[in-house]
Structure 1
Amino acid sequence: METITYQQLIKDIIENYAHKHPQDNDIETQIVCDTINNHYLLLYVGWQGEKQIYGCPIHVDIKDNKFWIQRDLTEQGIASQLLESGVSKENIVLGFRSPFNRKFTDFATP
């Protein structure tokens, strides 16, 4: 059985989401994978007429061998996808929740 790294797992999740949710021709989809500092983002950048489009629906960091979900605007949820891939709740931090509120979730509270 193939072993997949945390880095490859989050990259695969982001790439899958980007392919399922394509933007129009005027908006560029950017997948940012900083494997040195462990930052992983999905960005939408472009223009609609005179309006600049810039969005970050997914931002996940890997810190202390835990997934820190900083932003998640997906329907299914990054945490759910990580759990389905075999990651334990103790290795997932809902970074978009305040430190106070994290203790009321089933996920890690660093």
Structure 2
Amino acid sequence: MATPVLILQQTIIQVLQDFLEFLGPDPDADAYLAIDKDNHHYLLIETGWQNDRRIYGTLIHIDIIGEKVWIQHDGTETGIANELTDLDIPKDQIVLAYKSPERRKITDFAVS
């Protein structure tokens, strides 16, 4: 049987891969996943050039801390937390880390 952290890890990777596939190819930028399974860091990063302007940014950054999913950055329109809950990660296991602890208290998600 898979451990809770392994289940979280698999679900996060699935969501990131689905989002990467949704983005599709872009002639000006490359999007890729940076995954550190040992330290539980999961990022979707975009790099490239458009005209003479550099494209670089983290679209999504998620960490597993303890047995909770900490969303450090969410650059999606729909909210990556919603994608995780759709895949049966309970809201009380998801921390919207990009919000202040005070703001987290008024969400349906975990405070910490």
TM norm structure 2: 0.89
Higher relative contact order (CA 8 A, sep 6+): 2
Q: Is 2:85 the partner of 1:83?
A: yes
Q: What's the counterpart of residue 54 of structure 2?
A: 52
Rounded to whole Å, the distance in 1 between the matches of 2:9 and 2:73 is 17
Aligned counterparts, 1:1-110, within 5 A: 5-110=7-112
RMSD: 1.6
Gaps spanning 5+ residues in structure 1: where?
A: none
TM-score by length of 1: 0.90
Residue 25 of structure 1 and its aligned partner are, at CA, apart by 2.3
Task: Between 95-104 and 22-31, report the one with greater CA deviation.
Answer: 22-31
% identity of equivalent residues: 40
**Structure 2: stretches of 5+ with no match in the other structure:** none
Where in structure 1 do 4 or more consecutive aligned residues deviate above 4 Å?
none
